[in-house]
Amino acid sequence: MGELEIEKHTQFITSIEKKKDFDSMVMEHLRMSGAYWGLTALDLMGKLDAVDREEVVSWVLQCQHDRGGFSGNIGHDPHILYTLSAVQILALLDKLDAIDADKISAYIEGLQQEDGSFAGDEWGEIDTRFSYCAVCCLSILRRLDKIDVGKAISYVASCKNFDGGFGCTPGGESHSGQIFCCVSALAISGALTHVDRDLLGWWLCERQVKSGGLNGRPEKLADVCYSWWVLSSLTIIDRVHWIDKEKLKTFILDCQDKEHGGISDRPDDAVDVFHTFFGIAGLSLLEYPGLKPLDPAYALPVHVVDRLIFGQPHKQQP
Amino acid sequence: MSSSEDDEEEVRVPLSQRQEWSDVEPIPQDDGPDPVVSIAYTDEFRETMDYFRAVFAADERSTRALELTAEVIDLNAGNYTVWHFRRLILESLQSDLQEEIKFIELVANKATYKNYQIWHHRRWVAEKLGTIATTSELQFTQKVLCLDAKNYHAWSHRQWALQALGGWENELEYCRELLEVDIFNNSAWNQRYFVITKSPFLGGLQAMRDSEVSFCTNAITKNPDNESPWRYLRGLYKGNNEAFVNDPAISKVCICVLEKNRNCVFALSLLLDLLCYGFQPTPDLNRILSTWGFSGSDQKYANFVCLILEKVDPMRARYWIWRRDSLPSHIC
Ligand SMILES: [Zn+2]
């Protein structure tokens, strides 16, 4: 299966920003998330020094809007997805003092609906992904009390299905990505009692297929990003030993472009920064040697979460 | 409609050479030095974006701006800011939203049905149109699901349309049709559960249980390796383990499948659940387990089933070991 090509992946990630091809233009509007994926992956590999922190911070700050939210890039509209990415980046770089946390909190507070759910932006799209963004972001900012956490929890809980999984809205099909969002949101807000750990754990471990990779839903193909969502959810509910970790490790390592760096969704596909991050993040949760540990719910390195949330080193979450 | 679209592709006039845009100063993107252009059509992309930035900055809500958003969307349907701005223009111009529905179909056909922005925009339009959009939304999602029966956005949109606009009447039949095409389609099974629990016409889970158990056990018998109906069956009895274990149809399908394939993980796992809920072994079960060398005297049935599962499903052996370690004490 080979080793994790840390040097090559570092090179791949740091070269993305310099590229100006068609793909990078199409991705231009979600540059904030791209930056979060790339920077977090670099930190996990101990390579964050490969980027100019000041430059990143000044660009992130330029993406903040008067209403408090951040956009995916300069010249775009604010959205909760990019607001979380921006806050995660600043947390990672230990630059949270550069922003007005109250303003961001007010923006997020304004997105909460009567039923406890969250809209992604002023246009009102509702999705449990946004519940996660809201809870995670406010927790990082230590301002969870700005929203109605009880209602937020009960909305997420209302999206639980008979198979133990969660969907995007009540009744929506269980999907690993949505499960990560819901389980993490519940974990961060101290409401994991709403998760049927054994039932969900079994559904999640059924996602592992012969190749060792994990899929997002029954009968779908294994994929590095879904592997992360399943793995992090299993880690949060303390059921990760129910899958074959060695096989998953092999699957992720097989998705590397060993020549040019980067990780793809499946072996031999084209690499991108999204799957590169999720591959490295997955390996970190699998305790791959040489990688820093990652917090499964905040999707930030443990040392960052320790500093921010707990103010001191803490044990791995139960 | 498609021919004019083709024509436009062939003879696209750069915005800088169009009379109606001569008064606009394009705004280039400001992130760094001059890029190396590697793909031919990036020039068009760049120019269109530059003009878009200009009208966006000027908050120009005009017909030409609306047309320009269509050009940007045509090049990159994932750009959420353009969709936002398009909605502002549609509102300001009080545009005909039936036309907008047509536009969305055109874009969705060209781009991808896995694009969040397209679906979000569609929802916005349908919400404004109200119940006159019921049929169009059900038809649109049906068309998309015809191409990709597990499209998460399409299912999500359809569930929203049913709840907000109605049209539940044929939904159970629609689920049946989809499952007839592909019995492994987990999304269709999920939709089926959604319908029997939420449809205002069917009387709810209790009322539907017997007929659903029969539909589900039929599906299991035809394809025992299909994860979805096994979970669905449990869902039908969610929170009512006693009724679950007392429904003879449940243990029957389990035994039937094991008669033909004693290695079937899903059947063994259901058997384990039944035993955990207090199921009393039958002669049929004894016969099946005896083929695995079970004598019935030295250990619990459930314990033995766990040992089989550890063997036939080695990837999840740790799960089955945990199940074995946590067996209730009072069961067989
Ligand atoms: Zn993926």
- Residue A76: its chain B contacts at CB < 8 A? 80-81
Reduce the DSSP state of residue A160 to 3 states and report it. Answer: strand
- Continuous segment of H or E residues that includes residue A295: strand A294-295
| Local confidence band at B44 (pLDDT 50, 70, 90 cut-offs) | confident
Is A171 close to B42, i.e. CB distance below 8 A?
no
d(CA B314, CA A3) in angstroms, rounded, equals 25
A-B contacts at Cβ under 8 angstroms:
124
Q: Please give the structure tokens belonging to residue B234.
A: 């449990």
d(CA A64, CA B145) in angstroms, rounded, equals 38
d(CA B151, CA B174) in angstroms, rounded, equals 16
Residues contacting B64, CB < 8 A, separation 6+: B20, B21, B55
Q: How far is the CA of A83 from the centre of ligand 1 (A)?
A: 22
For B39, the closest of A21, A217, A243 (CB atoms) is A21
pLDDT at B10: 58
pLDDT tens by residue, A132-142: 999 999 999 99
Please give the DSSP secondary-structure letter assigned to residue A300: E
Q: How far is the CA of A274 from the centre of ligand 1 (A)?
A: 8
B215 burial level (CB within 10 Å; 0-12, 13-18, 19+) = buried
- For residue B227, what is the nearest residue in chain A, using CA coordinates? A218
Among A122, A26, A36, which residue's Cα sits nearest to residue A77?
Answer: A122
d(CA B165, CA B88) in angstroms, rounded, equals 24
Averaged confidence pLDDT in chain B: 91
- Is residue B174 within 8 A of residue B142, CB to CB? The reply is yes
- A228 touching chain B per CB within 8 A: no
- Residue A202: its chain B contacts at CB < 8 A? 319
Q: How far is the CA of B180 from the centre of ligand 1 (A)?
A: 29
pLDDT tens by residue, B65-116: 999 999 999 988 888 999 999 999 999 999 999 999 999 999 988 777 888 8
- For residue A248, what is the nearest residue in chain B, using CA coordinates? B315
In terms of residues, how long is chain B? 332
pLDDT tens by residue, A83-122: 999 999 999 999 999 999 999 999 999 999 999 999 999 9
B22 burial level (CB within 10 Å; 0-12, 13-18, 19+) = exposed
pLDDT at A19: 64
- B66 touching chain A per CB within 8 A: no
Among A20, A45, A33, which residue's Cα sits nearest to residue A262?
Answer: A45
Share of chain B above pLDDT 70, in %: 93
- Residue A79: its chain B contacts at CB < 8 A? 80
How many angstroms separate the most distant Cα atoms in chain A?
A: 52
pLDDT tens by residue, B257-288: 999 999 999 999 999 999 999 999 999 999 99
Q: How far is the CA of A220 from the centre of ligand 1 (A)?
A: 11
- Window A:186-205, CB contacts with B under 8 Å: 201-203, 205
pLDDT at B33: 38
Is B76 close to A25, i.e. CB distance below 8 A?
yes
For A171, the closest of B198, B315, B322 (CB atoms) is B198
- Is residue A289 within 8 A of residue A295, CB to CB? The reply is no
| Local confidence band at B295 (pLDDT 50, 70, 90 cut-offs) | confident
- A247 touching chain B per CB within 8 A: yes
Q: Which residues of chain A have pLDDT under 70?
A: 1, 19-25, 312-318
Q: How far is the CA of A71 from the centre of ligand 1 (A)?
A: 23
- For residue B38, what is the nearest residue in chain A, using CA coordinates? A21
pLDDT at B2: 40
Say yes or no to pLDDT of B39 above 90.
Answer: no
- Is residue A77 within 8 A of residue B57, CB to CB? The reply is no
CB atoms within 10 A of CB B31: 15
- B215 touching chain A per CB within 8 A: no
d(CA B259, CA B281) in angstroms, rounded, equals 15
pLDDT at A22: 62
pLDDT at B12: 81
pLDDT at A312: 55
pLDDT at B112: 77
For residue B27, what are the CA distances in angstroms to A251, A306, B49, B54? 45, 43, 8, 5
pLDDT at A29: 86
pLDDT at B313: 96
For B156, the closest of A169, A202, A219 (CB atoms) is A169
- Is residue A185 within 8 A of residue A229, CB to CB? The reply is no
Residues contacting A293, CB < 8 A, separation 6+: A284, A285, A287, A301, A302, A316
- B114 touching chain A per CB within 8 A: no
- Residues of B annotated as part of the active site: 114
Give residue A277's identity as a one-letter amino acid code. Answer: F
Share of chain B above pLDDT 90, in %: 80
Say yes or no to pLDDT of B1 above 50.
Answer: no
Say yes or no to pLDDT of B6 above 90.
Answer: no
- Window B:284-323, CB contacts with A under 8 Å: 315-316, 318-319, 322
CA atoms within 13 A on the CB side of A289: 1
Phi–psi pair at B198, nearest 5 degrees = -120, -15
Q: Please give the structure tokens belonging to residue A162.
A: 């008979």
Domains of chain A (ranges, CATH numbers):
6-309 (1.50.10.20)
Nearest Cα of chain A lies from the Cα of B236 at a distance, in angstroms, of 8
Say yes or no to pLDDT of B223 above 60.
Answer: yes
Handedness of CA A182, A95, A65, A20 (dihedral sign): negative
| Local confidence band at B31 (pLDDT 50, 70, 90 cut-offs) | low
Give residue A95's identity as a one-letter amino acid code. Answer: K
State the average pLDDT over residues B139-161.
Answer: 96
Reduce the DSSP state of residue A166 to 3 states and report it. Answer: strand
Q: Where are the alpha helices (DSSP H) in A112-144?
A: 128-140
User: What angle, rounded to 10 degrees, do the helices at A176-188 and A224-236 form?
Assistant: 30
**For testing contact with chain B, the best of A58, A67, A206, A221 (most B CBs within 10 A):** A206
- Interface pTM (ipTM) of the complex? 0.93
